[in-house]
């Protein structure tokens, strides 16, 4: 039998263990993570992105893509920013999905420099990517959302992981879906996040396989609008430069809106993986595309939630990793 005192302490211990199990752990991300250590972090990031946009209309899409390509490789840990040096023998920057393609590193460095002046050693590079993506979308006419913070920066890069985990523009919808599923994102996240192709550019090399000899047929991709096809063939002639840039959304190339989805309805998705969302027979993605094409508010609301979901992929928290002072290299290297 328990004495009264023993019973009391037993109950306290039981309550504490239950609370420990159900309450968020200290390591989880939080909207107020920097409220006492760097309260103006969001303003500093937003002002830097706004400044960059005055001279580079592409930068909003580029910064959003950086966050995406970071999160899909070992989680949102800033590993995409690391250059070769010290213990980093291979950089994710030179992986196939990123080489001569991802950009915006100079803006990230500029943001980091401003933050180091205001609150040195406090804000991680991984969190800068998450904040810069939100600023980029909202400043381009898209939704705002509350960015959860508290990620720490990796000590390693994973080039092999970047080569295998980041969705490629040449893949089937089934492959892309499984890559999203592998990081805990579902079909709705897949369609919503693909909607980030409502702004930005793509090089010819990422879709030229659709223009002349699709899947070895000797003919263009039949799901490509014929008028749009003629324009793209002119921009990307056979044996032409694979690096020529094309607007992902030909209607409003620098505005974040739902035109990406209305384009899919008329077979004007630029990448194979864009058009597949609507043109894959029997796919559950079709009804989601239709919904977003007809209801921009629904797209914006879902996109914001999906960005939060993506930002939650395997962050380093607590004492894991570090807060880099220079986003390009591990501290002390």
274 in a labelled binding site: no
Tell me how far apart the 2 most distant CA atoms of the chain are, in Å.
Answer: 87
240 in a labelled binding site: no
* Strands in 186-277 per DSSP E: 201-203, 245-247
109 in a labelled binding site: no
24: tokens are 């968020």
Task: Based on the residue annotation, tell me whether 69 is a catalytic residue of this protein.
Answer: yes
138 in a labelled binding site: no
First to last CA, the chain: 61
Look up tokens 């805990």; give the residue. Answer: 184
Which one of the listed residues 46, 58, 69, 93 is annotated catalytic?
A: 69
Question: How many residues are present in the chain?
Answer: 333
Look up tokens 């996109």; give the residue. Answer: 303
Q: Helix crossing, 125-139 with 296-311: angle to 10°? A: 170
User: Would you call 55 helix, strand, or coil by DSSP?
Assistant: coil
Q: Do the Cβ atoms of 224 and 267 come closer than 8 Å?
A: yes
41 in a labelled binding site: no
Which residues are registered as beta bridge partners of 3? none
70 in a labelled binding site: yes
62 in a labelled binding site: no
257 in a labelled binding site: yes
Cβ neighbour number for residue 205 with a 10 Å cutoff: 15
Look up tokens 């499984």; give the residue. Answer: 178
Q: Do the Cβ atoms of 187 and 284 come closer than 8 Å?
A: yes
326 in a labelled binding site: no
171 in a labelled binding site: no
198 in a labelled binding site: yes
Q: Do the Cβ atoms of 282 and 276 come closer than 8 Å?
A: no
Q: Name the binding residues for Ca(2+).
A: 70, 73, 75, 77, 79, 92, 198, 249, 252, 257
Q: Which residues are annotated as a binding site for heme b?
A: 197
| Sequence ranges of the binding site | 70, 73, 75, 77, 79, 92, 167, 197-198, 249, 252, 257
Any idea which residues carry the catalytic annotation? 69
Binding residues for substrate: 167
């Amino acid at each position: 039998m328990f004495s009264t005192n023993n019973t009391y302490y037993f109950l306290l211990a039981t309550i504490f263990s239950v609370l420990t199990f159900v309450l968020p752990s200290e390591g989880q991300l939080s909207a107020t993570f920097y409220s006492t250590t760097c309260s103006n972090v969001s303003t500093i990031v937003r002002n830097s992105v706004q400044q960059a946009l005055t001279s580079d209309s592409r930068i909003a899409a580029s910064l959003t893509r950086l966050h995406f390509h970071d999160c899909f490789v070992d989680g949102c840990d800033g590993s995409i920013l690391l250059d070769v040096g010290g213990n980093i023998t291979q950089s994710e920057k030179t992986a196939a999905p990123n080489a001569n393609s991802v950009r915006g590193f100079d803006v990230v460095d500029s943001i980091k420099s401003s933050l180091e002046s205001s609150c040195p050693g406090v804000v991680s590079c991984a969190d800068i990517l998450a904040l810069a993506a939100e600023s980029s979308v909202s400043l381009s006419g898209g939704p705002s959302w509350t960015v959860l913070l508290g990620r720490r920066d990796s000590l390693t890069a994973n080039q092999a992981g970047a080569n295998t985990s980041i969705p490629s523009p040449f893949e089937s919808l089934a492959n892309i879906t499984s890559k999203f599923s592998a990081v805990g994102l579902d079909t709705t996240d897949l369609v919503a996040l693909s909607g980030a192709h409502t702004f930005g550019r793509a090089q010819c090399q990422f879709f030229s396989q659709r223009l002349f000899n699709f899947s070895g047929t000797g003919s263009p991709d039949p799901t490509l609008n014929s008028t749009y096809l003629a324009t793209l063939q002119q921009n990307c002639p056979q044996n032409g430069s694979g690096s020529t840039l094309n607007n992902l959304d030909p209607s409003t190339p620098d505005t974040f809106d739902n035109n990406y989805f209305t384009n899919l309805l008329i077979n004007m998705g630029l990448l194979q993986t864009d058009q597949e969302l609507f043109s894959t027979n029997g796919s559950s993605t079709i009804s989601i595309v239709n919904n977003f094409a007809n209801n921009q508010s629904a797209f914006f609301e879902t996109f914001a939630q999906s960005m939060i979901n993506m930002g939650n992929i395997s962050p380093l928290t607590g004492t894991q990793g570090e807060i880099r002072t220079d986003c390009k290299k591990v501290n002390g290297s």
